[in-house]
């Protein structure tokens, strides 16, 4: 749904889903300083939030991943990790101060781990593991244990849709 940054329109839609439909909101972000900053912006607004952005924070958003603590469990080739640069380290420090002030201890821990790993991982690298890996393996493992009964009923539908996509990809490769 997002655009790589937490625009006000997307935040308003998510806020509406929470308030009007009581829909749980889950976030999947890059395991890098920018991704964690996006999470905090969805949750609390931007540091320089204008009046326009007020009232569209989504404090209920739950961070499904990709967290720095997840990366050791992913079958990722070493060359797919990107080294953190000086700008990344400065951003980590800035975001860490904000997360501490907000009482986001889990985020602080993840930022500390990110800093010590000295590397970041983008969603694109994880999606290159295998077709549908993010949906079939990663998200399914994160969503299945959640106490949201609706997910248990749609997980088979998600799996069926993934299977359809796999069949389309196979048919396309046979035709070529």
pLDDT in tens, 145-167: 777 655 556 666 666 666 666 56
Mean pLDDT of 110-118: 96
**Residue 97 pLDDT:** 97
Residues in the chain, total: 176
**Residue 68 pLDDT:** 94
Q: Which residue has the higher pLDDT, 97 or 18?
A: 97
**CB count in 10 Å sphere of residue 131:** 14
pLDDT at 135 over 80: no
pLDDT at 1 over 60: no
pLDDT in tens, 40-51: 999 998 887 656
**Residue 64 pLDDT:** 87
Was domain 8-129 assigned CATH 3.40.1360.10?
Answer: yes
Question: Which segment of 31-35, 91-95, 126-130 scores lowest on mean pLDDT?
Answer: 126-130
Name the average pLDDT for the chain.
82
Mean pLDDT of 73-94: 90
Q: What is the DSSP string of the chain?
A: ---SS--HHHHHHHHHHHHHH----EEE--BSHHHHHHHHHHHH--TT--GGGTT---TT-EEEE--GGGGGGS---GGGSEE--HHHHHHHHHHHHHHHHTT-HHHHHHHHHHHHHTEEB-HHHHHTSSTTHIIIIIIHHHHTTSS-HHHHHHHHHHHHHHHHHHHHHHHHHHH-
Q: Would you say 122 and 33 are in contact if contact means Cβ atoms under 8 Å apart?
A: no
pLDDT in tens, 96-107: 999 999 999 999
Share of the chain above pLDDT 70, in %: 77
**What are the extents of the domains in the chain?**
8-129, 132-176
């Amino acid at each position: 749904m997002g655009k790589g940054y937490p625009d006000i329109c997307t935040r308003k839609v998510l806020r509406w889903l929470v308030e009007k439909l009581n829909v749980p909101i889950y976030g999947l972000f890059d395991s890098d300083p920018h991704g964690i900053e996006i999470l905090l912006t969805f949750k609390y607004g931007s540091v320089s939030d204008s009046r326009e952005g007020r009232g569209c924070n989504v404090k209920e958003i739950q961070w499904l991943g990709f967290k720095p603590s997840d990366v050791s469990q992913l079958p990722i080739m070493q060359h797919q990790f990107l080294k953190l640069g000086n700008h990344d380290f400065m951003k980590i420090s800035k975001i860490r101060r904000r997360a501490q002030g907000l009482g986001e201890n889990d985020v602080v821990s993840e930022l500390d781990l990110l800093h010590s790993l000295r590397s970041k991982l983008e969603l694109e690298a994880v999606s290159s593991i295998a077709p549908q890996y993010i949906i079939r393996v990663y998200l399914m493992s994160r969503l299945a244990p959640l106490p949201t009964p609706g997910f248990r009923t749609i997980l088979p539908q998600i799996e069926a849709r993934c299977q359809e996509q796999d069949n389309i990809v196979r048919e396309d490769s046979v035709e070529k």
